Amino acid sequence: MLQGNAIVGQSGGPTAVINASMVGVVDAAKKAKAIDRVFGMRFAIEGVLNDVLLDLTAESDETLQQVRYTPSSALGSSRLKLQDKHFPTILKQLKKYGIRYFFMIGGNDTMDTIHRVVEYANAQGYAMRGVGVSKTVDNDLYGTDHTPGFPSAARYVALSIQQGGLLNRDMQKVDQFSVFQTVGRSAGWLPAAAAAARRRKGDPPHIILMPERPFNKTAFLKKLKETHARHGYVSIVCGEGVTYKDGTPVSASGTKDKFGNTEFGAMGGSSAAMALHRMIADKFGWRGEFQIVESLMMAAKDRGVKLDYAEAYQCGKRAVQLATKGETGVMVTIQRANKKGEPYKAGYGTAPLAKVANFEHQMPDKFISSDGMDVTKAFLDYITPLIGDLPEHGHLTIRKAKK
């Protein structure tokens, strides 16, 4: 049995449920015979480099339970890109605190961090096990049905479009269109989630633009004109990372982050929603608005999904259980355990860290409509159990009065 201490960190963007995963790790680690103490990285891997670790073993159960249902990243996050020069310092710190179990909660880049740190430590003769806990509202991690954080963010989008759609409908004589932008660099899971807002034929959103399909300006403007003629207004949802066929971002952003990824929205100083708004206004002369909420959809507790909190916590616990049984170099995944036609039920599996770090989970073709600007029933069947029931609203019959 590998005896020692454990460390856990949170990296990348926040979610409504990332703290539930962290508490899951802590709770399981406290009960594990192979683990003596649990430390927390203050601001992810930077906390290790700068020798700023938190003693999570000393936190009371009451505090941890409160943190479990608190949004954002309680330990603090970071987007530091690891360089070769960092590894000797990291290993020195891990040895200093007797850390043998290495856990991080995050996305592709986070899984790469775990993989590289543990591989380096083992290569230097220091035995260590590393297990990742999936997290991203983008839902683009390899090997998992969905990621903790996605259901709550998806519900945020669906509710925003459902409620904003009423405003679009009733203000159509003032604003003829609206563009709502979601996060999601290269996968369309979040913009697609807006389709769950529909309750009646003709309900918003009318057009959904996803990164999986190249943006076709001519086809878009044609559908826009047809939709406006039919409904009197148009509700559009776009993923921040939509691009033209040649790969040029619709947002026209050229800013790159430390990992070489294009920065969209506020971080990139431009956005797809703004570009679409200008395109529509220039073509038709319509008045409209664009909405970009950025990180708000990542960490909104008031729209959090109970299922999401529960699954995030279980993923954290599962990571510790795997590591203490000898598993390493994997990320905990969520899989659907129910058979077709049965109520949703979650199961848990694993995916190799190396693959998670290098591959993305985009929406399959069966979830995207033939014109590339909507979703299919198969996607609605996929998303519905994850976000739960949405409110029902009243609607006037709009019957013209007679004398």
Distance CA 320, CA 331 (A): 11
Q: For each of the domains in the chain, give its residue range(s) and CATH number, in order of start.
A: 4-148+303-358 (3.40.50.450), 156-300+362-387 (3.40.50.460)
Region of 294 on the Ramachandran plot (φ > 0 left; ψ -120 to 50 alpha; else beta): left
- Between CA 131 and CA 114 the distance in angstroms is 7
Predicted confidence at residue 294, as pLDDT, reads 81
Which residues form the catalytic set?
138
* Residue type at 281 in one-letter notation: A
Cα gap 352→84, rounded to integer Å? 22
Backbone angle region of 269, left / alpha / beta, with phi > 0 → left and psi within -120 to 50 → alpha? left
pLDDT at 270: 72
Cis peptide before 205 (omega within 30 of 0): yes
DSSP 94-135: HHHTTEEEEEEEESHHHHHHHHHHHHHHHHTT---EEEEEE-
Closest to 197 measured CA to CA, from 186, 208, 211: 208
CB 281 within 8 A of CB 287: yes
pLDDT at 254: 47
- Cα(147)–Cα(355) distance, integer angstroms: 16
Under a CB-based contact definition with an 8 Å cutoff, are residues 328 and 130 in contact? yes
| 3-state class (DSSP) for residue 345 | coil
Separation of alpha carbons 135 and 106, rounded Å: 5
What is the distance, to the nearest Å, from the Cα of residue 296 to the centroid of all Cα atoms in its chain? 12
Phi and psi dihedrals of 186, rounded to 5?
-135, 10
Q: How confident is the prediction along the chain (403 residues), in pLDDT tens digits per residue?
A: 899 999 999 999 999 999 999 999 999 999 999 999 999 999 999 999 999 999 999 999 999 999 999 999 999 999 898 999 999 999 999 999 999 999 999 999 999 999 999 999 999 999 999 999 999 999 999 999 999 999 999 999 999 999 999 999 999 999 999 999 999 889 999 999 999 999 999 999 999 999 999 999 999 999 999 999 999 999 999 999 999 999 999 998 545 555 555 555 555 557 999 999 999 999 999 999 999 988 888 888 899 999 999 999 999 999 999 999 999 999 999 999 998 889 999 999 999 999 999 899 999 999 999 999 999 999 999 999 999 999 999 999 989 999 8
* Dist. CA 196–CA 240, nearest whole Å: 19
Give the Cα separation of 25 and 148 in Å (integer): 14
